[in-house]
Amino acid sequence: MLLRLEALSKRFGRDWVIRDLSLSLDRGEVVALLGPNGSGKTTLLRLMAGLLKPTRGRVERQGHALFLPNPPAFHRHLTAREHLLFDLAFHGAAGDWEGALKRFGLPAELPLAAFSSGMKKRLALARLTLLRPDLWLLDEPETALDQEGRALLQETIREARKGASVVLATHDRALAEAVADRAVWLGAA
């Protein structure tokens, strides 16, 4: 079991965003989180990552989790090469960053200030393929991607599941049907 949520609840102020949610995830599984805006998809991903503490319930996680926010976060004054090299070294990982940039069709030496939203999303995916976490937590990964980018995203998720698990929050039912083993519907709290 890579991830287990037990009666998980999260409240911001007086508003319950998530109530008594239980879920478990095995290695190799892909789960899609679906639901309208404000239904708690991003909050749930952040709880799974350990970036938020639950108000009630438990999150049990084994292995290393990485969270891809929407939009992805990068320093605008660094180039893609500098970002990936820093991330690899900071995470104590090794990988072919040049190959990853080539695969995702990204320039190595351009500052990220000059990247479009879609290019940043591609870079975030390239980063995840290099860091190889056990648990991929993707928040609306399809946003800002073009057709080619979406195909790359699906391919990346299918590859990731060979050694890891993926949870993606999405509004794109077609993407969820294409890559996920099961979907969790979060209604407005």
* Site membership for other proteins, residue 52 (CB under 8 A): yes
Which region, judged by CB under 8 A, interacts with other proteins, from 17-25, 72-80, 115-123, 144-152? 72-80
Residues 14-33 that bind other proteins (CB under 8 A): none
Which region, judged by CB under 8 A, interacts with other proteins, from 27-35, 89-97, 138-146, 149-157? 89-97
Given 1, 73, 110, 188, the residue binding other proteins (CB under 8 A): 73
Q: Which residue has the tokens 């109530």?
A: 19
Residue count at the site for other proteins (CB under 8 A)? 23
Between CA 90 and CA 104 the distance in angstroms is 22
Which amino acid would we find at residue 135? L
Q: What end-to-end distance do the CA atoms of the chain give, in Å?
A: 28
* Site membership for other proteins, residue 75 (CB under 8 A): yes
Between CA 125 and CA 70 the distance in angstroms is 12
Tokens encoding 99: 């190959």
Of 116, 137, 108, the C-alpha closest to 50 is 137
- Contacts with other proteins, residue ranges (CB under 8 A): 49-53, 64-67, 69, 73-78, 82, 86-87, 89-92
